[in-house]
Amino acid sequence: MSTYTSPPPAPTERVPDVSVIIAVYNAMPYLTECLESVAGQSLGLERIEVIAVDDGSTDGSGAELDRWAARHPQFRVVHQPNSGGPSVPRNRALDLARGRYVYVVDADDYIGPETLERLLRMADMQGSDVVLGKLVGLGRTVSDKAHRHAEQVDLYTSEVYRALHSAKLIRRQILERDRIRYPEDLWFGEDQLFVTAAFLAAGRISVVGDYDCYYLRRREDGQNITSRGRTAHETVEHIERVMRMVAERVTDPVGRRRMLGRHFRALLAKALRPAAWARRDYPEFAAEVYRRGRALCEAYWTPDMTGELTQIDAIRMYCFLGGAVEAFEQLAVYDPAKNPPEQLSEGGRLYRLFPYFRDPAVGLPDELYDVTDTVRAHHHLQAMAWKDGLVRLTGHAYLESAAPDGVTAGELLLRERATGRELSVPAAARPTPELAQEGTQRGVDLTRAGFRADVDLSRVDGGGPLQPGVWDVFLAVRAATGVERTVRLGRTHGPELDKTARRSRVLARDEAAGTELAVSPFFTAKFDNLSFEVVRRFAPPGE
């Protein structure tokens, strides 16, 4: 039976702002650092309650908790027999919590000194139901994309759903309203169901990404619970449940695709690929994981989810869905980082030659290997100047991985923002000896990566002037191999480039109407991209 080592607070005591939840099982000596980090919060212990549940520890963790509870009335400790995982002790603590918010900390991790103060400030200022804090991996991988600082993020279009670890400040009211708790029959992946439910219940989600909030540790003794061996059922069950939750509750097509896509990535990385590695030694394990993985694909997979996977995972999934088991298992052990694929430029397209490219025995489509649209284009606008009635644009541009034979001159594109109508202007190649060293480092010839475009805006539109509207400036960047990307011009530019407002230039006059067309170049406020604004106005008297 559970026993309390510290009495519950009197009902008249001030409601704490944050209830810190700590499930503890054999966490020494890391537990002491964890408790010190919580007790030392800049928010002040008077605004915190700590509820630690000792889940049958045998290494002195229970005594350490009692020592802290004796020193600090804000610490409450519950001792109970071991339950086999973190869900039961966390739920016990959640049932006892009184704070406006709860914050779950694993007993072998710790938090930064200002963590709770910063998270709570964000929550109170924004009215947030969930606040993520930046994670720091100590021997463990964390998602930087998920923790970009933001006062408000959208669950479906941001990257926060990459982070399903429990370390989030969550308004306790939404947990009680929707009766959100950890699944007590799971010890692996239980946090994914809890956090997903909290995300779906939240009215507003925020991120504190400008401070190292939570330090996620891989224990040197290898005793992280996630290091425990798993059965096929334990490997897949949590993925099945969380996919079912998303499928039942999310009707927004973007949200459904992105959230399920995140779990298909996990299915590949945490279940299907390990099953492929283990199939020779553990055929029954692999067979069950494969069977349940196929059932998930049949239930939830749609072709548009391919974009949620990395390219190599998309190829793996295609093989798995198509029943090409041998190819899937070979791809499961293939590591692109250790064996980088070569590339093929053909017909203006660029292909990354992962295994089984154009292998007739497997028959995978070329589209799976096509990376043309992901090639990064480097571009730099060096100068803009009016010369003899022309606007001269100079700079350099090249494609990062598609130019083994150098680059060729592209063309300047003027695109009317309102209609999308596009006009092209030739851009001449220009020597760039200053890029020779950079080209050597990248293994490409960049000595003629420069461009120069002399644009006569009075004759650019079928021999006539540019018409009224806002015209955004793009550059088509081509490699000698024929691969091409179009980029918005101006965001990266030379320090000497004058971005201040320019005096308008007259392009044409209509003497009969007494009007004129005038153009003004400007750089957009948010991204510093170059645009031209053309207006028709009355001509000043006497001109």
Alpha helices (H) in 97-159, listed in sequence order: 115-126
Residue 408 has pLDDT above 70, yes or no: no
Name the CATH code of domain 375-498 (choices 1.10.287, 3.30.420, 1.20.120, 2.60.40). 2.60.40
Mean pLDDT of 1-22: 71
- Which of 91, 62, 64, 67 has its CA nearest to residue 78? 62
Q: Is 200 exposed, middle or buried (0-12, 13-18, 19+ CB in 10 A)?
A: middle
In the prediction, which pLDDT does 135 show?
Answer: 96
Q: What is the mean pLDDT of the chain?
A: 91
Type of residue at 216: L
In the prediction, which pLDDT does 525 show?
Answer: 87
- pLDDT tens-digit profile of 105-118? 999 999 999 999 99
Q: Indicate the angle between helix axes 30-39 and 61-71, nearest 10 degrees.
A: 20
In the prediction, which pLDDT does 506 show?
Answer: 92
- pLDDT tens-digit profile of 307-356? 999 999 999 999 999 999 999 999 999 999 999 999 898 888 999 999 99
In the prediction, which pLDDT does 405 show?
Answer: 47
What are the structural domain ranges in the chain?
3-225, 229-372, 375-498
In the prediction, which pLDDT does 404 show?
Answer: 45
Report the distance separating Cα 262 and Cα 189, nearest Å.
14
Neighbours of 346 (CB within 10 A): 11
Among 24-28, 156-160, 539-543, the minimum mean pLDDT is found in 539-543
Residue 409 has pLDDT above 70, yes or no: no
Mean pLDDT of 243-266: 97
Residue 222 has pLDDT above 80, yes or no: no
Among 192-201, 236-245, 300-309, 423-432, the minimum mean pLDDT is found in 423-432
Q: Tokens 């190649």 sit at which residue?
A: 429
Name the CATH code of domain 3-225 (choices 3.30.1340.10, 3.90.650.10, 3.90.550.10, 2.60.40.10). 3.90.550.10
Mean pLDDT of 55-59: 96
Among 220-224, 323-327, 342-346, 534-538, the minimum mean pLDDT is found in 220-224
Residue 13 has pLDDT above 70, yes or no: no
In the prediction, which pLDDT does 221 show?
Answer: 58
In the prediction, which pLDDT does 541 show?
Answer: 72
Contacts of 8 (CB under 8 A, 6+ apart): 76, 96
Report the distance separating Cα 61 and Cα 54, nearest Å.
7
In the prediction, which pLDDT does 484 show?
Answer: 85
Residue 282 has pLDDT above 80, yes or no: yes
In the prediction, which pLDDT does 485 show?
Answer: 87
Report the distance separating Cα 80 and Cα 189, nearest Å.
22
Residue 460 has pLDDT above 60, yes or no: yes
Contacts of 534 (CB under 8 A, 6+ apart): 457, 465, 466, 467, 468, 469, 470, 471, 507, 517, 518, 519
Mean pLDDT of 258-277: 96
Report the distance separating Cα 461 and Cα 443, nearest Å.
39
**Whole-model pTM over 0.85:** no
Q: Residue 140 in 3-state DSSP?
A: coil
